[in-house]
Structure 1
Amino acid sequence: MTDATGPTYDIDSFYQGLVEHGLIIPSEIQGGYGRGAVFEDILERFNDLVSRTAKDDGAEPMMFPPIVPRTLIEKVGYMDNFPHLCGSISSFFGGEKDARALSECVHAGERWEDRLDPTEAMLTPAACYPVYPTFAGTLPAGGRLATLTGWVYRHEPSPEPTRLQAFRMREFIRVGTVDQVVAWRNAWLERGLSLLKSLQLPVASDVANDPFFGRAGKMMAASQRDQRLKFEILCPVISADNPTAICSFNWHQDHFSATFDIKTSDGEVASTACLGFGLERVTLALIKTHGFDPATWPAEVRALLWP
């Protein structure tokens, strides 16, 4: 919604506009709505623009399914820091008698999940996680750079349209010496801002922190901000006062390198960083800024997305 003074922010009206224009498809799951053809076209066009922007970087393309080993989640400490966001996959391991009992529960309208047991897979909570084990060993002198587009799951049910439980991230993951990694992160922070500003989005960057769990998590979040380990690019989508993070930059220092024994060419523990564009969030930011119909968007924006 807009008025004579500029955009107005009403979550319900924005959601209804997305539905009425066929951009999203309602679901019984909060944060689990479907995406219409136009929404997907915008998302894919933006992802293509990111690829064109980074085409000379030499990033290694990778692709992973939206699941990771339970052992990886344990190894990186995810359950220590973010247990409230995890998604564990359970399945049925019983025999015919157990299956009949489960079916009876389903048809009686009773809860049946306790008849399932955990598998060795969990839903991917961060698109970059499967990449770090592939870097194990000694790196070439220039380090390595990978890129992927992946589905992410986080248990954050909400009716707010930018707060999704399942969403896609376009990620770049850099590993090397501290100087290589920090220089890369700082350069991409400016590059990311320029890219999003070229789409006429009202963005700004700021220091941020991850949503660590509990009392100890508050201290970890404060430390992360103090060390300036995480930056976000923010854009007003559902609020002017609390803009939405549509891109993030994380410097992990040696956390993943020590965990997976990643060494620089001179034998030191390596450093890692990642950047991620939230593809659904960027799409929603474009729709909020320019309108529900891409045909009416500024010609300069359309030329970048539909060259």
Structure 2
Amino acid sequence: MNMPTEPAVLMQAEGQTSSVASDPTLRDRLIEAGILIDTGENGLYGRSEVFEDVVDRLNKVITLLGADQSAEVLRFPPAMRRHDFEDSEYLKSFPDLAGTIHAFQGNDRGHHRLLEALDKTLAVGDQERSDEWMDQQKPTRLVLTPAACYPVYPLIARRGKLAEEGAIVDVFAYCFRHEPSIDPGRMQMFRMREYIRVGSPAQVMAFRQKWIERGSALVRLLQLPFEIDLANDPFFGRGGKIVADSQREQQLKFELLVPVATPNKLTACLSFNYHMEHFGEIWNIQQTDDSLAHTACVGFGMERTTLALFRHHGLDVTKWPEAVRTFLWGDAAPMIADALARTGTNA
């Protein structure tokens, strides 16, 4: 299943003979080419038509890859109900990544104080600015969505008991995580395409294994080098290490890793997660026999996979390998059917 990275091959694909400090980074080259747009804030980028076209093509082949799943298609905005977010226990594990939404909710006097503080802020020009004006901002009933699957679990719970076959849901959404970085693969606002399985332990484990095979097949068709490896989420604090170790010990999370920002650094472009009954317990999602449902999901990092394509095939999409261009811009259906037959996951 594993395909090890070969830095020399990656440099050759990029037209480099060495990796030295003076080499332009992938981020610099993408910005210079106008494929990513620098906003002045680390991890926040505009996307060009070329970049968005690749994302759209990826999205379409992922749809073909999951066409036989009979998944319910749901699309959510990049914000979710604060009530559901609080219930999710996300703040217990990742308080440093969460993004809340605030807004002015005061009266005329409060507005006057806001404008006074804002004038002081603007007076410093481009220097480091005060956030004093934000004292007049109050929390709203919304938070930024941290993962595309999070709005799904409370929705499934509100519908009542699962059917015998459980549920499969297809979601695609912008997500937010507060981790500013110059690594273009670590954006603060990014898109995730997910298939989510809710059901019995046997159903969700079979689902995850199927998607490990399918995700690998997809990346092979994209002609990207990759590895599948055991992983853990970045749980916060001292207690987080214990949780992370437990997650690894139980083999709950695997990632498909591709060199993206630099040839010798691997980035998770797909993740395959088994949550056991965690979300079933939080929202009391019940199976037909009244037992708690288990959940699993496969997540496709749309920006990261797109960046990987630019890293390995070059910035000019018209010069990408013909087979990759046929897959993304041509008729991908027979290529996917053949790949699924080879993996044995087409049943």
TM range (shorter): over 0.9
Residue 153 (structure 2) aligns with: 132
Please state whether the residue corresponding to 1:138 is helix, strand or coil: coil
Instruction: For 1:61-210, list aligned pairs within 5 A.
Output: 61-109=73-121, 110=130, 111-136=132-157, 137-210=160-233
C-alpha RMSD of the superposition: 1.7
Q: What is the percent sequence identity of the aligned residues?
A: 45
Residue 11 (structure 2) aligns with: 2
Please state whether the residue corresponding to 2:223 is helix, strand or coil: coil
Counterparts in 2 of 1:246 and 1:260: CA distance versus 1, 3 Å: same
Counterparts in 2 of 1:299 and 1:166: CA distance versus 1, 3 Å: same
Displacement of 1:239: 3.3
For residues 261-297 of structure 1, the C-alpha deviation after alignment (integer angstroms, 9 at most, x for no partner) is 1111222111001111000000000000100011000
Residue 14 (structure 1) aligns with: 26
| Alignment length (residue pairs) | 307
For residues 29-82 of structure 1, the C-alpha deviation after alignment (integer angstroms, 9 at most, x for no partner) is 110010000000001100100001111211100011111122212211111110
Measure the CA separation in 1 of the matches of 2:110 and 2:162.
50
Measure the CA separation in 2 of the matches of 1:6 and 1:115.
52
Counterparts in 2 of 1:67 and 1:144: CA distance versus 1, 3 Å: same
The more displaced of 146-155 and 134-143 is 134-143
Write the letter of the residue equivalent to 2:303: E
The more displaced of 181-190 and 99-108 is 99-108
The more displaced of 240-249 and 25-34 is 240-249
Counterparts in 2 of 1:5 and 1:245: CA distance versus 1, 3 Å: closer
Please state whether the residue corresponding to 1:34 is helix, strand or coil: strand
Measure the CA separation in 2 of the matches of 1:271 and 1:108.
53
Displacement of 1:13: 2.4
For residues 202-250 of structure 1, the C-alpha deviation after alignment (integer angstroms, 9 at most, x for no partner) is 0110000000000000000000011000000000112344300000011
Contact 2:172 2:193 in 1 (8 A): yes
Residue 290 (structure 1) aligns with: 313
For residues 140-177 of structure 1, the C-alpha deviation after alignment (integer angstroms, 9 at most, x for no partner) is 11110000110100000011111100000001110010
TM-score (normalised: structure 2): 0.85
2:61 is equivalent to residue 59 of structure 1: no
2:52 is equivalent to residue 40 of structure 1: yes
Measure the CA separation in 1 of the matches of 2:41 and 2:71.
36
Q: Structure 1 stretches of 5 or more lacking a match?
A: none
